[in-house]
Amino acid sequence: MSSLDTNETLRDLHSAATSHRGDRVFNRVITGAAFTSLIVLAGIAIFLGLQAIPAFQSQGLAFLTTTAWDINTDPPTAGIWGMLYGSVLLAVIALVIAVPASILLSVFMVFLAPPKIAKILTNLVDLMAAIPSVILGLWAFYILNPPAEEWQQLLNQYLGWIPIFENASGNFLGTPFIAGFVLAIMMIPIVTSVTREVLGRTPPELINAAESLGCSLWTMLRYVALPYGRGGIVGGVMLGLGRALGETIAVFFVLKLVYDTNWYKVIESGGGSVATLIVSRFGEVTGPFELQLLLAAGFFLFLGTLVVNMIANLIVSRTGRLQK
Amino acid sequence: MTILFSEQTSEESAAQKPLHPWRKKPRKFTISVALAVVLPFLVVLALLLYSNIPGALVMVIVYLPLQLLAAGITAVYNRGVRSIGDSMIVVLAIGATVFSLVILMSVLLSLVVRGIGALSAHFLYQNSVYINPSTPLEYGGIGHAMVGTFLILLIASIIAVPIGIATAVYITDVRGRAVPYVRFFVQAMSGVPSVVAGLFILTIAVSTGAFNQSAFAGGLAYAILMLPTVARTAEEVLKLVPDDLRTGALALGSTRARVVLQVVIPAARTGIITAILLGIARVIGETAPLLLAAGNNDGTVLNPFDQAVASIPVYIFNNVALPYPDAVTRAWGSALALMILVAVLFTLARVLGRGRVGKY
């Protein structure tokens, strides 16, 4: 659209126009507003970080490395290791389900489906992304739970000798598997929309060349389309991961929160999640000290998601630049 | 198989289609493919009808492997060993698509089937002042929650929309030195977990004492979540406004402020509305920030500063796990109402987004 030429003309015109006093004010107002996002991010880090200091003073590093939530004892002990680990475990389960499903779904939309069906599917995936998490939680609690309980029982019955399918309690509800499954459902539309776009941008010349060399769809994907879009796909997965780490309400309904570390037993009742800890403890918070602990937990959740998200955006924007 | 031609090449596919006009599909090909589709289906149908293994399990542990096997055999039979990968990927891709669609349909259908019983006129306008979880469905409703959600969204929009559009204008029109950083921070902000946004507002409220749980606090928390969506969509839209309009207006002697306010933004108004609608749709179902910042209330609250206020997501949240069937039905009913709101917002945004951006 705009060539270098018009860009330069524009810049000259702009610099001429900024000499006007009203424009200088306008510029300042707009620039100030543009930095709101930075101010908010810094504000979150500072306000929550300040609250984390008393939590650290009372608990020390144990706040991050131990698992406990005994507020009424003297002295109170609290540690969120199990919750941090639980969040990661749920995210890993979600990734294992959502990544292959989303990549296959976008392969179907880009390379297999007729354009009309692909368009309908795109809209449906967007609709899926629009489902509020509280509704997904409601659905999971009443619709997903009964069959999921049955699947997990069968898994345990036939594959129980594999350590991750151990279940000693006989309770198959509130397991990391169900929570991870719900997170996977939230991740699929996010990952799919990025992956679909990236795969759709594979240059047709490359595809045609691969096919004229005798590649089948599978070899074309394996050696052309997936390597070409790898950066974008990884970025999309990381975006979904950021969402999964921060998800609160849907997990709240399907995960039994235990103050213990569930290391690997994905179909054993009980697990952890930082975001869910905050909401579930907030309802019955006992005093300002416990609130501070929750704010400290929120601070670490914020840091974690921020890092994941920033890496994701860097990857996505870098591949975007390469492909131009 | 037409799979050799991707969507991208559809414009050229007319020219490419007759690449092998001589290769007619032999009858054994058609028959074997038909068998590969029908046989696994029949086996599964028999299992579903005459055994008591749960349906979802049959699909996963019987149908999928069987279909993969059938597709593989057919591929080898017709086109040799090397086409196995192809047949597998086709079956798996269709499987993933069906999986996603089944889940989406299950969510939507269960909302309609279970929620429709609660929906009625009084459910939409009454509040819950004299309602407890065991009250029958003839009484009470989500009127107070609708008012609360509307109030919170209004406050969030008043805060987030101007800032979001200003951020977009900075990127597209002011073009200062910090553009890459602003973009980066907006993207980073879009990853803030909703519960953290709620906690942040709560901390401000607690540490400054300026306000407590209220529609205003909820609106602030929503604004944090809304801002990145509005800014990013508005940026895309403002980019579509032709530079000719800008240079034209500047050449006529207008100041930059006037160019933006009277030329660029009016030219992109439908797109800007789309950005606002998408921003609202992004936050309307968020529960965690409101649980923390806005609280809950059984009555209708119109004052945005004083009291805790009800909202639809929090209403659903509070009714989901209650041991009373009527309360659960209320949760489904309000979830249906919320989903309809979200769907309407998205459809509106789509329809407007398709409209003419950047033209008068």
Nearest chain A Cα distance for residue B213, angstroms: 13
Chain B residues whose CB is inside 8 A of the A10 CB are: 243, 246-247
Q: Based on the domain organization, do B350 and B264 belong to the same domain? A: yes
Q: Based on the domain organization, do B54 and B176 belong to the same domain? A: no
State the total domains in chain B: 2
CB contact under 8 A, B8 and A48: no
- In single-letter form, the type of residue at position B230 comes to V
- pLDDT of B79: 77
Give the whole-angstrom CA distance, residue B217 versus residue B292: 9
pLDDT digits 0-9 by tens, B187-196: 899 889 999 9
Question: Is there a cis peptide before residue B133, judged by omega within 30 degrees of 0?
Answer: no
B121 found inside a domain: no
User: Is residue B184 left, alpha or beta, with left meaning phi > 0 and alpha meaning psi from -120 to 50?
Assistant: alpha
- In single-letter form, the type of residue at position B13 comes to S
CB contact under 8 A, A38 and B185: yes
How confident is residue B161, by pLDDT bands cut at 50, 70 and 90? very high
Question: What count of Cα atoms within 13 Å lies in the side-chain half-sphere of residue B277?
Answer: 19
Q: Angle, to 10 degrees, between the axis of helix B194-208 and the axis of helix A36-59?
A: 80
Give the whole-angstrom CA distance, residue A290 versus residue A296: 10
Mutation to test the B interface, candidates A9, A120, A123, A131, most B Cβ within 10 Å: A131
CB-CB contact of B301 with B148 (8 Å): yes
Give the whole-angstrom CA distance, residue A84 versus residue A67: 10
Task: Report the run of H or E that residue A79 belongs to, with start and end.
Answer: strand A77-80
Concatenate the DSSP letters of all residues of A161-192 into one string.
Answer: TSGGG--SS---SS-HHHHHHHHHHHHHHHHH
A187–B contact, CB cutoff 8 A: no
B71–A contact, CB cutoff 8 A: no
Give the whole-angstrom CA distance, residue B201 versus residue B186: 19
Place of tokens 């399990």: B57
Residues A286, A292, A297, A301, Cα dihedral to 10°: 120
Instruction: Write out residues 88-147 of B within 8 Å (CB-CB) of A.
Output: 88-90, 92-97, 99-101, 103-104, 106-107, 110-111, 114
Q: Based on the domain organization, do B6 and B104 belong to the same domain? A: yes
How confident is residue B9, by pLDDT bands cut at 50, 70 and 90? very low
Mutation to test the B interface, candidates A135, A182, A302, most B Cβ within 10 Å: A135
Concatenate the DSSP letters of all residues of B245-263 into one string.
Answer: HHHHHHHTT--HHHIIIII
**Nearest neighbour of B100 by CB, restricted to A10, A20, A188:** A188
Mutation to test the B interface, candidates A13, A20, A248, A285, most B Cβ within 10 Å: A248
| Tokens encoding B120 | 């009625």
Per-residue burial over A268-295, b if 16 or more Cβ lie within 10 Å, else e, is bbbbbbbbbbbbebbeeeeeeebbbbbb
A286–B contact, CB cutoff 8 A: no
**Nearest neighbour of B97 by CB, restricted to A31, A121, A275:** A121
Place of tokens 């397991």: A175
The alpha helices in B255-324, defined as continuous H runs, are 256-258, 265-267, 269-283, 288-293, 312-320
B136 found inside a domain: no
Q: Based on the domain organization, do B171 and B67 belong to the same domain? A: no
pLDDT digits 0-9 by tens, B259-313: 999 999 999 988 899 899 999 988 998 999 999 999 888 888 888 888 899 999 9
CB contact under 8 A, A108 and B331: no
Give B21's strand partners: none
B223–A contact, CB cutoff 8 A: no
The alpha helices in chain A, defined as continuous H runs, are 4-17, 21-34, 36-59, 62-65, 81-107, 115-130, 133-139, 145-159, 176-200, 204-212, 217-220, 226-246, 249-254, 274-282, 288-323
| Tokens encoding A303 | 């840091």
Mutation to test the B interface, candidates A15, A23, A104, A257, most B Cβ within 10 Å: A104
Question: In sequence order, which residues have a C-beta less than 8 Å from that of residue B189 and are 6 or more positions away?
Answer: A37, A40, A41, B224, B227, B228
B341 found inside a domain: yes
Nearest-CA residue of chain B relative to A8?
B247
Q: Based on the domain organization, do B288 and B233 belong to the same domain? A: yes
Fold of the domain spanning A77-323: MetI-like fold (1.10.3720)
pLDDT digits 0-9 by tens, B76-101: 888 778 788 888 899 999 999 999 99
CATH number for B219:
1.10.3720.10
B102, pLDDT greater than 80: yes
pLDDT in tens, chain A (324 residues): 444 456 666 666 566 555 677 888 888 899 999 999 999 999 999 999 988 888 888 888 888 888 888 887 778 888 899 999 999 999 999 999 999 999 999 999 999 999 999 999 999 999 999 999 999 999 999 999 998 998 888 888 888 888 888 888 888 999 999 999 999 999 999 999 989 988 988 888 998 999 888 888 888 998 899 988 888 898 889 889 988 898 999 999 999 988 888 888 888 888 989 999 999 888 888 888 888 889 999 999 999 999 998 888 888 777 755 544
Concatenate the DSSP letters of all residues of B15-77 into one string.
Answer: HHGGGSTT-PPPHHHHHHHHHHHHHHHHHHHHHHHHS-S-HHHIIIIIIHHHHHHHHHHHHHH
| Tokens encoding B314 | 């929090």
Chain B residues whose CB is inside 8 A of the A36 CB are: 163, 167, 227
Question: In sequence order, which residues have a C-beta less than 8 Å from that of residue B134 and are 6 or more positions away?
Answer: B324, B326, B327
Instruction: Write out residues 111-130 of A within 8 Å (CB-CB) of B.
Output: 111-113, 115, 118, 121, 123-128, 130
**Nearest neighbour of A33 by CB, restricted to B167, B204, B285:** B167
Domain boundary (B74, B99, B115) is at B115
- Exposed/middle/buried for A62, CB within 10 Å: 0-12, 13-18, 19+? middle
The closest of B185, B203, B220 to A306, measured between CA atoms, is B185
B161 found inside a domain: yes
B130 found inside a domain: no
CB-CB contact of B304 with B222 (8 Å): no
- Range of B292's domain? 143-354
Q: Based on the domain organization, do B108 and B168 belong to the same domain? A: no
B208–A contact, CB cutoff 8 A: no
Q: Based on the domain organization, do B26 and B62 belong to the same domain? A: yes
CB contact under 8 A, B182 and A35: yes
CA A251 to chain centre: 13
- Exposed/middle/buried for B17, CB within 10 Å: 0-12, 13-18, 19+? exposed
Nearest-CA residue of chain A relative to B296?
A283
B163–A contact, CB cutoff 8 A: yes
